[in-house]
Amino acid sequence: MCGIVGYIGKAKASEVVIKGLERLEYRGYDSCGVTYFNEAKKEFITNKGIGRVASLYQEFKYPESNHLGIGHTRWATHGVANYQNTHPHYSQSNRFIIVHNGVIDNHKELVYKYLPDYNFRSDTDTEVIVNLVEEFSKKRTVEEAIRKTISLLDGSYAFLILDTEDTNHIYAVKNKSPLLIGESKEGIVLGSDVLAFVDYADDYYLLEDNSVIIVEKNQDQYSFKVTDAVGFESNHLKKLPMDFIMDDLDKAGYEHYMLKEISEQPAVIRKIMKEYMVDHKLRVRPEIKEMFNNIKRVYILAAGTSFHAGLIGRVFFEEVAKIPVEVFIASEFAYNEPLIDPHSLFVLISQSGETADLRACLVNVKEKGYKTLSITNVPTSTLAREADATLNIYAGTEIAVASTKAYVGQIAVLAILANSLSKQHSLDLVSELSRAAVSMENIIDRRDYINELVQHTFNSQDAFYIGRGIDYFVSLEGALKLKEITYIHTDGIAAGELKHGPMALIEKDIPVIAIISQDHISNNTRSNLEEAKAREGKPLVISLENTSKGNDDIVLMDVHRLLSPLVTVIPTQLIAYYKAKQLGVDIDKPRNLAKSATVE
């Protein structure tokens, strides 16, 4: 979940690397560091900071004459966030320097077998890699030492290595963790995400697992060679143009990325409608429909917010397409696989398309011959490339760690997919999604009212969301948003379950937020809310016009009941946002979290 960047070229390497790290902070921001070659002094310099990448600008100065460098922004996996555990790391003799994203599962065994006499300066598994390279380079070339090292590693890793005896090369390896190459006439840049390449690359290349990359400077020319783990050169790299819209990368006048991305959600729905419109109907591609022929059960695998979208997808599949569905948390499914119907298909949902738990699931189910379909926001991601087929949610770049617009994009695409598979009466999704987008805009335009509501309602370190059916699934997402950016302990609970234990936690003035969008169970949820109110909980109701009562706090424009999550989720996002703003916490980068979970 860390971010790594490397550069060799005509530009100022320290600047390229640090700007790249700033754009990768969503991957982790416990600590950061950069190493560059000072050409005037003929020495490698390493600067490190605890916390945000901005510290690398604020606390250090950089010479103009540096054109080779690597850097890292960290989400701690091994060792606490302190200076000694901050990357880059040096080998014991200080010859080799490394930055690494991933986890080496067998690092302790490797130390015992190959490095018993080495002194380690940190608690990280990364030091094991760089010291293995040093150990094996005593009798091998650097390239051979790296190949020998990766032949021993178990786990996920993408790393960059500098050799202090050679200022014309960067060595890189990719296996399971993301790594891309950016190219221009001015130099070569490597990074965990294409965002790091903006302004410094004209094109970028996708890499397969077990790739070894050697980037070389030869006078004023820059080139790279990609081989597999044993040395066979890859001649089939996929080259893509850098076509990012810079507006995606700034706040466009909003105070935070999260508020910007909440406000973009109606546009996401309209973008999806445009991309999936065929003959005035919303449809998936014919080859994707054919994948579901003779399928008796669908398994949806996801994590976090995507898991909550998957729960709603189950409702679409079962009510509209009449296909039984099971939804699993990916990290649980990967190592606790249930009995699977042989006529099954797997749908894997991930914003980034790089989620490690999902990747493990994908590898397992493909090996067993099951069909796989990914739904992602990044069509060039690992999951998109390795699944049998993929659907794009067209949400655009999402910077805030707390996902918002990707969630509604996933729900909309799941609705289109299920509707495409319907053999009976399908929904008029063109009309219904259009109406949903208008309803979404309506509540976003009234966000100042929600801000006022938050100031008067939320004065507790605990909160509950409750709902039934599809509203319960939105309650889970609302609770996740509130806890992850405000640090308020929040649970999403099936309303009928309050009396089966959670009611013991209801105390005076604890907010209990009920989501009520389904008319047939409206009275049941209201009854449960009254029970909480009787224990002095502070009730708040989010409802649609057709389910509303006179005292409801937030009433939303009516939409089709199956599409209600697109609308009811928005007040929950705004509640979380405005409470976090009131508390003065970092909304876009909440503590201890990272956006792309690329380690298991």
CATH number, domain of 496, equals 3.40.50.10490
Burial group, residue 453, by CB count within 10 angstroms (0-12, 13-18, 19+)? middle
Domain assignment present for 376:
yes
* Annotated catalytic residue 2: yes
On whether both 410 and 523 belong to a single domain, the answer is no
- The pLDDT value given to residue 424: 79
- The pLDDT value given to residue 245: 53
The single residue of 2, 19, 260, 405 carrying the catalytic annotation is 2
Q: How far apart are CA 352 and CA 362, in angstroms?
A: 15
The single residue of 176, 217, 589, 595 carrying the catalytic annotation is 595
On whether both 420 and 457 belong to a single domain, the answer is no
Domain range spanning residue 406?
250-427
Q: How far apart are CA 300 and CA 391, in angstroms?
A: 14
Can you give the CATH number for the domain in which 73 is found?
3.60.20.10
| 586, 587, 593, 598: CA torsion to nearest 10 | -130
| Residues ≥6 apart with Cβ < 8 Å to 40 | 63, 65
| 183, 186, 188, 192: CA torsion to nearest 10 | -70
Domain assignment present for 539:
yes
Q: How far apart are CA 580 and CA 63, in angstroms?
A: 39
Q: How far apart are CA 121 and CA 98, in angstroms?
A: 14
Q: For residues 86 and 33, is the Cβ–Cβ distance under 8 A?
A: yes
Give the residue from 187, 212, 244 where a domain finishes.
Answer: 244
On whether both 21 and 125 belong to a single domain, the answer is yes
Q: How far apart are CA 19 and CA 30, in angstroms?
A: 17
Domain assignment present for 362:
yes
**DSSP H/E element including 454:** helix 447-457
Q: What is the DSSP string of 255-317?
A: SSHHHHHHHTHHHHHHHHHHHHEETTEE---HHHHHHTTT--EEEEEE-HHHHHHHHHHHHHI
Domain assignment present for 594:
no
* Annotated catalytic residue 361: no
Domain assignment present for 202:
yes
On whether both 143 and 178 belong to a single domain, the answer is yes
Q: Output the six-digit token pair for 22.
A: 């700033």
How distant, in Å, are the alpha carbons of 37, 364, 461, 513, 535 from that of 509? Answer: 58, 48, 10, 12, 9
Q: For residues 27 and 402, is the Cβ–Cβ distance under 8 A?
A: no
- The pLDDT value given to residue 442: 95
| 241, 202, 13, 127: CA torsion to nearest 10 | 20
Domain assignment present for 456:
yes
On whether both 375 and 452 belong to a single domain, the answer is no
**Number of domains present in the structure of the chain:** 3
CA angle 230, 232, 233 (to 5 degrees): 135
How distant, in Å, are the alpha carbons of 283, 390, 412 from that of 279? Answer: 9, 21, 18
Backbone angles phi, psi at 98, to 5 degrees: -135, 145
pLDDT tens per residue across all 600 residues of the chain: 789 999 999 999 999 999 999 989 888 888 999 999 999 999 999 999 998 899 998 999 999 899 999 999 987 777 787 889 999 999 999 999 999 998 899 999 999 999 999 999 999 999 999 999 999 999 999 999 999 999 999 988 999 999 999 999 999 999 988 899 999 999 999 999 888 998 899 999 999 999 999 999 999 899 999 999 888 888 778 898 887 655 567 788 899 999 999 999 999 999 999 999 998 889 999 999 999 999 999 999 999 999 999 999 999 999 999 999 999 999 999 888 889 999 999 999 999 998 888 999 999 999 999 999 999 999 989 999 999 999 999 999 999 999 999 999 999 999 999 999 998 777 899 999 999 999 999 999 999 999 999 988 888 899 999 999 999 999 999 999 999 999 999 999 999 999 999 999 999 999 999 999 999 999 999 999 999 999 999 999 999 999 999 899 999 999 999 999 999 999 999 999 999 999 999 999 999 887 666 555
On whether both 354 and 415 belong to a single domain, the answer is yes
Q: What is the DSSP string of 555-580?
A: EE----GGGHHHHHHHHHHHHHHHHH
Q: How far apart are CA 56 and CA 62, in angstroms?
A: 10
Across the beta sheet with 389-392, the strand order is 325-329, 297-302, 344-350, 371-376, 389-392
Residues in the chain: 600
Q: Which amino acid is at 165?
A: E
Helical segments of 336-428, H only:
356-367, 382-386, 405-420
Give the residue from 244, 265, 295 where a domain finishes.
Answer: 244
On whether both 484 and 572 belong to a single domain, the answer is yes
On whether both 162 and 237 belong to a single domain, the answer is yes
Domain assignment present for 441:
no
Query: Per-residue b/e over 552-590, b at no fewer than 16 CB within 10 Å?
Result: bbbbbebbbbbbbbbbbbbbbbbbbbbbbbeeeeebbbb
Domain assignment present for 182:
yes
- The pLDDT value given to residue 596: 63
On whether both 372 and 314 belong to a single domain, the answer is yes
Q: For residues 5 and 189, is the Cβ–Cβ distance under 8 A?
A: yes
On whether both 48 and 175 belong to a single domain, the answer is yes
Q: For residues 213 and 171, is the Cβ–Cβ distance under 8 A?
A: yes
On whether both 56 and 204 belong to a single domain, the answer is yes
Q: How far apart are CA 175 and CA 173, in angstroms?
A: 7
Does a cis peptide bond (omega within 30 degrees of 0) precede residue 502?
no
Beta-bridge partner residues of 226: 213
The residue among 194, 533, 184, 239 whose CA lies nearest residue 378 is: 194
Q: Which amino acid is at 203?
A: D
Give the residue from 191, 213, 244 where a domain finishes.
Answer: 244
On whether both 360 and 375 belong to a single domain, the answer is yes
